[in-house]
Amino acid sequence: MNKNTPRPVQEPASGLPEVFAFLDHRDFLREWFEVKRTLSKAFSYRTFARKAGFASHAFLSEVIQGRRNLSEDSSDKCVGALGIAGDAALYFKILVRYGQETHLDKRRDLLSDLLRLQAARSVERVGGRQAEYFAHWIHMAIREAAVVTGYTDPAQIAGFLRPAAKTEEVAASLSLLERLDLLRMVDGKWQYAFPRLTPGDVDPQVIKTLKRQMILLAQDRLSDPESPDTHIAAVTLSVSRKHLSRIREILDRTRRELLAETATDDAPADQVVQVNFQLFPLSESFERYRSHHA
């Protein structure tokens, strides 16, 4: 699929088209209005204008035909009339800016934002019987390595990993990944069943064990010489209770953005990497400490 081609998106249960399937806001508005008219014969441009708070009942028609543009304020009004919220609303507003921007560099940046929002929706939440995937770090590494290299021989994949794995470990992991439908053999090569995965309904103890494994892997790398593909950094801060919560949000958002950023990378994958985020206290809360030692 070309990077500029929208990802196929299933229509929502309402039957209305989903905004993430479009890279032109006028096309989206045209199709949305046509489907809405099919679903409700009484719906009209006048109905939309009344819901959005537009003075002119012909405004939407003129936007769709390219005779008028949407301002930031009118985009917000359209969002309300379209009945979309969250990432869908954000996507629509960026889509409007993208369609009306004439500066090439700014258009490229807006397109990247749109593609990241599309890609973020392709992250599959794994749980149930597939939770076994998170039992050991090697399953994640092998899943990525099998697709990156194109190797089907477990011995070749074992040698590609760092630290190197045992051939029998790789063979067992590939068998598990195929059984859990997280890897598929297509035309003699391994392919993702889903491009990006994140834990869903998984026993918290399983995830804790996995995190310990990842921390130990990072610890082992401290003894290696510094290299361009390894970056281990730390910062020690004093922080208010309010901003401690904010830092957690930043780390979580960054994790999601990394998933989306790599999903929109149109260059061939070359390496499997692990990115860890750790936030932990080096002291007691001063407020709690003071109350206990007053």
Give residue limits of the domains in the chain.
19-121, 126-223+230-263
The model's confidence at residue 54, banded by pLDDT at 50, 70 and 90, is: very high
Is residue 200 within 8 Å of residue 125, measured between CB atoms? yes
Residue 141 to residues 81, 160, 192: CA-CA distances in angstroms?
45, 10, 13
The predicted structure's pLDDT at residue 259: 77
Average pLDDT value for the chain: 88
Sign of CA dihedral 110, 115, 118, 119: negative
The pTM for the full model equals: 0.64
Q: How far is CA 292 from the centre of its chain?
A: 43
For residue 249, give both structure tokens: 């949000």
Mean pLDDT of 199-217: 92
The model's confidence at residue 196, banded by pLDDT at 50, 70 and 90, is: confident
Q: Which residues pair with 290 in a beta bridge?
A: none
Residue 12 has pLDDT above 60, yes or no: no
* DSSP assignment letter at 3: T
Residue 265 has pLDDT above 80, yes or no: no
For residue 268, give both structure tokens: 């061939």
Provide the terminal-to-terminal Cα distance of the chain, rounded to the nearest Å: 65
Is residue 101 within 8 Å of residue 107, measured between CB atoms? yes
The predicted structure's pLDDT at residue 225: 62
Question: What CATH number belongs to 19-121?
Answer: 1.10.260
Mean pLDDT of 132-153: 95
The model's confidence at residue 264, banded by pLDDT at 50, 70 and 90, is: low
The predicted structure's pLDDT at residue 258: 83
Q: Which residue is associated with the tokens 């405004």?
A: 59
The model's confidence at residue 25, banded by pLDDT at 50, 70 and 90, is: very high
Residue 13 has pLDDT above 80, yes or no: no
The predicted structure's pLDDT at residue 169: 96
pLDDT above 90: percentage of residues in the chain = 58
